[in-house]
Amino acid sequence: MTTVLNAEAPATGVTECSPEEWKLRVELAACYRVFAYLGWIEMIFNHITMRVPGPEHHFLINPFGLHYTEVTASNLVKIDLDGNIIGHSAYPVNPAGFVIHSAIHAAAPDALCIVHTHTTAGMAVACSKRGLVANNFYGSAVLDKIAYHDFEGPAVDDAEKPRLVRDLGNKRALILRNHGLLCHGKTIAEAFDLHYRLQRACEVQLATSNIDEGIMIPESIRERSRNIVLDAGRLKMDAPPPPSPQKLFDAMVRIVDRIDPSYKN
């Protein structure tokens, strides 16, 4: 079982931090507040992590015990791939968060930001034998980006790491059976955008589950939709531009700024 070290000194702010890391800290703290605003939270649990620049594979994670609305740039905890806290923190790290996130951060070079949630809609689809289906706009757009990982109990054992990595493969999203959702991206905005679309797909699927099987979107239409989203060069001149993950995320951060900008501290 993984042992995550507790810090001994109280948090006094980040004493050694590059400008690049501080920028990521502020953006990641903002992301926690955005998730709280949208209700994608599970009390003090779940995690959003971001790898910091450098060859060490250090990454930032939320302090265990704080609500997402209490996360700030300075109280984010930096840990290494062995679960050791880098520097000082007044807070420990949740072992389950460490096992899942460290496995993917270590194995997938493009997984710089990883989000994991226990939303009701996400868990409902994760508990479904069918998993996600292409019966709505969002499901059609993300279906080919999703892999599945069978439930092995609370993810606190290093032995599960290779199977997490194997099941994720080259996909950007993982539905953890009986558990929840996981998405990753090269940036915080990319991971947020994919989770938003996957979450919406799950919400619509759950909302229609008591109606009938739904109208499944044919593969030919799904392929056409993927081309429009992924290749702006294929758009007609009078068509709207493809969505920008950064624009979407920035818009949500502006809402958080108006409510409580203390995440920047």
d(C-alpha 183, C-alpha 162), whole Å: 17
d(C-alpha 147, C-alpha 171), whole Å: 6
Which of 198, 200, 191 lies closest to 246, judged by CA? 191
Query: In a structure prediction context, what are the per-residue pLDDT tens digits for the chain, which is 265 residues long?
Result: 333 333 333 344 565 789 999 999 999 999 999 999 999 999 999 999 999 999 889 999 999 999 999 999 999 999 999 889 999 899 999 987 789 999 999 999 999 999 999 999 999 999 999 999 998 989 988 999 999 999 999 888 899 999 999 999 999 999 999 999 999 999 999 999 999 999 999 999 999 988 776 788 888 777 776 655 444 444 444 455 556 899 999 999 999 999 999 999 9
CA 28, chain centre distance (Å): 11
pLDDT digits (tens, 9 = 90+) for 163-206: 999 999 999 999 999 999 999 999 999 999 999 999 999 999 99
Query: In the prediction, which pLDDT does 6 show?
Result: 37
Q: What is the CA angle 112-115-120, rounded to 5?
A: 165
Query: In the prediction, which pLDDT does 69 show?
Result: 98
Which domains does the chain carry? 19-264 (3.40.225.10)
| Cα distances (Å, whole numbers) of residue 203 to 36, 117, 119, 136 | 17, 14, 10, 10
The answer to whether 149 and 164 have CB atoms below 8 angstroms apart is: yes
Number of Cβ within a 10 Å radius of residue 71: 25
d(C-alpha 209, C-alpha 159), whole Å: 35
| Cα distances (Å, whole numbers) of residue 20 to 1, 23, 25 | 33, 5, 9
Residues 6+ apart with CB under 8 A from 32: 48, 62, 68, 69, 71, 263
The answer to whether 81 and 2 have CB atoms below 8 angstroms apart is: no
